[in-house]
Structure 1
Amino acid sequence: MTADSLSAPYTVEFPFERTVGPKIGTFLGGLRDGQLYGVRTARGVLCPPLEFEPETGAETGELVPVADTGTVTSWTWVPSRSGDPVPHDFAWALIAIDGTIGALFHAVDVGGDSDRVATGLRVRARWRAERVGQLSDIECFEVAP
């Protein structure tokens, strides 16, 4: 980070509880099992899945397994802090999961080298060995081979 860079404190959190319902519940169960799920809509498969189509409000359809690979659509580089998903500087990114619409917000680990991350970068999920059914079951995304 250069002296001219802007910085601000941030916390990525969702400080509330809600019932998850069958679609989000299946998505979370899939995370526990090392599998991503999307949901069918009139526009295509949406990942992460939602109960209702964001553009029309129509109820979404069946859940389908999707790949754990995707493409970075936008990102920002951040210095690592205690509690972050990786122990060195990384990118927070929106990741378009292969074969789906929408984007999943997650960390991308490129070994602390900001020159290795770019829009269009192909990535895959790095799953934790022990998973419990939450988004942090994906430790981060890393460069796909």
Structure 2
Amino acid sequence: MSDSKDLLRAPFELAYNYKRSSGPVMSEFFEALGQQKILGTKSRAGKVFSPAAEFDPETHESLKEMVEVGPGGSVESFSWIEAPQNHHLIKDPFAFALIKLDGADSSMLHMIADCNEADLSIGTRVTAAWSETSDKRITDIKFFTLEK
């Protein structure tokens, strides 16, 4: 094996530069985000998945019925980020959390900000804080904040 000084090195960043169609279900989900609404899809059994799912994970049936959920919900789990890195969208300490929105049976992964770690626990109530601009992306929900 050669010394590391003999190795050639070059910076490299892995990227997936492609565009894809969102399809009818996710397109409707993203359009609703642009109107500050969060949608889920409802299964034949009455379960609501949010973010919207195209297929029922149990029966594999196509899901088309859209229902509004949230904007509030409960924290199901979280991970506190004390020292955000450059790639994080939030520069102050925040949490990544699984949030079960009101009216949904599944959880959404998003961020909780404008609070301290001690403010959070399983079951804490949060609500969506919307971005000032609408890009029809998940980032239209800027983050979630503690319910007042």
TM-score of the superposition, structure 2-length normalised?
Answer: 0.82
Larger Rg: 2
TM-score of the superposition, structure 1-length normalised?
Answer: 0.83
Matches of 2:113 and 2:58, distance apart in 1: 32
Report how many residues are paired: 132
Matches of 1:61 and 1:24, distance apart in 2: 10
Residue 30 (structure 1) aligns with:
32
Q: Is 1:61 aligned to residue 64 of structure 2?
A: yes
Residue 18 (structure 1) aligns with:
20
Report if the CA contact (8 A) 1:110-1:116 is conserved. no
The equivalences for 1:1-145 within 5 A come to 17-41=19-43, 42-78=45-81, 79-111=83-115, 113-145=116-148
Supply the RMSD in Å over aligned alpha carbons.
Answer: 1.8
Give unpaired runs (5+ residues) of structure 2: 1-14
Q: Which runs of 4+ in 1 moved over 2 A?
A: 13-18, 81-87
User: Kindly, what percent of the aligned residue pairs are identical?
Assistant: 28
Report if the CA contact (8 A) 1:110-1:117 is conserved. no
> What's the CA shift string for 1:33-83, capped at 9, x where partnerless?
111001111242111111100112111131112221100001111122224
Give unpaired runs (5+ residues) of structure 1: 1-12
> How far 1:17 sits from its partner (Å)?
3.8
